[in-house]
Amino acid sequence: MKKLPMLLAGLSLFGSAQATVFQFNFTAKIQEMVEFSPMTFDGGAVASSSVSGSTVSVGDVISGHFSYDTATALFSNQGGSVMYSAPAALNTLGASIGGNSIGLSNANYSSTNVQIANNAAALGGADSFGIASLSANAYASEMMAVSFFDKSGLALNAATMPGQLDFASFNRSTFYYTYSSNATHAMMGANGALTSVTVMEVAAPVPEPETYAMLLAGLAGLAAIGWKGRRR
């Protein structure tokens, strides 16, 4: 599979006391689709599906955007695969086909998680980086994910939230989408290879509380110096 034409994801700004949100646009092409009904146990490969209310077909081009927040808290660590998740974290994933979003509207639940594996035994020593979005409303639930996999185990140096990523060092990249209807329990799934990833402008770092404290202390010191100078 072709490596992605995308190299640098950014650099850390203002030291470790800062949180940075890295943002990317991507494209993908749907290569495989399935439908399944747990009520009748019928299903299999399909060329297109309208289970979600809009038609998704093999060959469709996905346009999407994702971001990850380096300050996201550790959620779990199992078998060398580490998950980061926090309600306030600025992790996002969205996708559309022909300008029409395939995300759920009026979601009453949503969560976007980052999963990282570095030389994971469960993956045969491979590295992986993925971001997944789960959402649900009164009518359905869905999952979207982008996943990057490197069999050599050289793409990542650690299983921590990365301050930079070279997506060209991953030899496989995939987009996944699943949808399940609450009314009929019908399910559909689609996946396909990413065809491009481009970095967007890195957002300004978000100061941590201790950074604010240092800034306030510095301002207080400057004020004190100015006050002493005026008394002389």
In the chain, domain spans: 18-206
For residue range 154-203, list pLDDT tens digits in order. Answer: 999 998 988 878 888 999 999 999 999 999 999 999 999 999 999 886 55
Q: What local confidence, expressed as pLDDT, does residue 201 receive? A: 60
Q: CA torsion 73→94→165→9, rounded to 10°?
A: -110
Mean per-residue pLDDT, 136-143 = 95
For residue range 73-105, list pLDDT tens digits in order. Answer: 999 998 778 999 998 899 999 999 999 999 888
Taken in order 94, 91, 162, 85, the sign of the CA dihedral is: negative
For 64, the 3-state DSSP assignment is strand
Contact predicate 73/89, CB 8 Å: yes
Residue 1, pLDDT > 70, answer no
CATH tag for 18-206 (out of 2.170.140, 1.10.510, 1.10.10, 2.40.160) = 2.40.160
Contact predicate 178/189, CB 8 Å: yes
Q: What local confidence, expressed as pLDDT, does residue 78 receive? A: 84
**Residue 2 banded pLDDT, cuts 50, 70, 90:** very low
Contact predicate 178/101, CB 8 Å: no
Tell me which residue has tokens 């060209």. Answer: 168
For residue range 50-80, list pLDDT tens digits in order. Answer: 999 889 999 999 999 999 999 999 999 987 7
For residue range 5-57, list pLDDT tens digits in order. Answer: 333 333 333 334 467 899 999 999 999 999 999 888 889 999 999 999 889 99
Report the distance separating Cα 132 and Cα 84, nearest Å.
11
Strands 81-84 and 140-150: unpaired
Residue 130, pLDDT > 60, answer yes
